[in-house]
Structure 1
Amino acid sequence: MTTFDYGPIEFYAIAFDGDRPGPAVLQAIDDLVATGTVNLLDLVFARRSPEGEIEMLELSDTVDDGAPALDLAGLAGHDDVQYMADALEPGTSAAILVIEQLWAKSFAAALYDAGGAVIAREGIPAPVVNAFLSEYAD
């Protein structure tokens, strides 16, 4: 059976009001890493000032001792981050994460060995799922 060094990865751009997400967001990411659910490959903060200027800060550039550990700092390229940050409104910020889905690593290898390939993937945000289910629950 094929063994991959890494499983599937995903980019997330998560917008926040203000210039940075709170410490609870970093703690939630750290918890996911600690439980082996994901591997944090890169984390970049972007913010757009009220005047419209974009500033980016790599997690690896910070000196915060409470920050999660990165496996591959710099995986999110400057152009990728800039593209995602362009959508920010003045006075808002975003956390741009690159995560490896650890749960899917062996599944990806099994698909590869069977000649299979994921040809489409669509995510549905949790607020949408919960709103739908609560509306149609018995």
Structure 2
Amino acid sequence: MQMMTNFDYGPIEFYTIGFDGDRPGPAVLQAIDDLVDSGTVNLLDLVFATRAPDGELTVVELSDTTDDAGVPALDLMGLAGLDDIELLAENVPPGRSAAILVVELLWAKAFASALFDAGGSVINRAGVPAPIVNAFLAEHVE
């Protein structure tokens, strides 16, 4: 009988989410918390980046915030390094901010193990943001 690989972690993804103000509102943090509570993702890291009007980037780790009320718990704080953060935040325009999330895709963990055991690997992955999907489908699907 062949042993099945059991990875400790599934695939992870980095997201840069732009918004006005210096932090996302409570509804965004609640939505992240809901994904964690449902077992869909595991929040590994969360960083806030703000670009001043002069272009200077300020980075605040979630652990550095003084008001953690309503903020989801992190599993691997500090996973996003400064180089990652600067690269992910390079398109944040002056006067705007971003939340940089690192999430483990729990739903894909078992699939990743099975794929590995079968000698397969993900060669490419592309994502399409929900607003684009919905706009396209609204125009093309009856």
Q: Which TM-score bucket, shorter chain as reference?
A: over 0.9
Distance in 1 (CA, whole Å) between partners of 2:38 and 2:123 is 29
State the 1:18 CA deviation. Answer: 2.6
RMSD: 1.0
State the 1:125 CA deviation. Answer: 0.6
> Does 2:27 align with 1:24?
yes
The AA in structure 2 aligned to 1:128 is: I
> Does 2:94 align with 1:90?
yes
Q: 2:113 aligns with which of 89, 109, 112?
A: 109
Distance in 2 (CA, whole Å) between partners of 1:65 and 1:45 is 16
Task: Name the structure 1 match of 2:14.
Answer: 11
Task: Name the structure 1 match of 2:74.
Answer: 70
State the 1:82 CA deviation. Answer: 1.2
Residue 19 of structure 1 contacts residue 48 of structure 1 at CA under 8 Å; is this kept in 2? no
User: Secondary structure of 2:108's partner?
Assistant: helix
Task: Specify every segment of 5 or more residues in structure 2 that has no aligned partner in the other structure, as ranges.
Answer: none
Task: Name the structure 2 match of 1:126.
Answer: 130
Residue 39 of structure 1 contacts residue 100 of structure 1 at CA under 8 Å; is this kept in 2? yes
Distance in 1 (CA, whole Å) between partners of 2:53 and 2:25 is 19
User: Secondary structure of 1:120's partner?
Assistant: coil
Q: Give TM-score scaled by structure 2 length.
A: 0.93
State the 1:50 CA deviation. Answer: 2.0
Q: Give TM-score scaled by structure 1 length.
A: 0.96
The number of residue pairs the alignment matches comes to 138
Task: Name the structure 2 match of 1:54.
Answer: 57
Task: Specify every segment of 5 or more residues in structure 1 that has no aligned partner in the other structure, as ranges.
Answer: none
Once the two structures are superposed, residues 50-84 of structure 1 have per-residue CA deviations (whole angstroms, 9 ceiling, x without a partner) of 23221111112223121100000000001110112
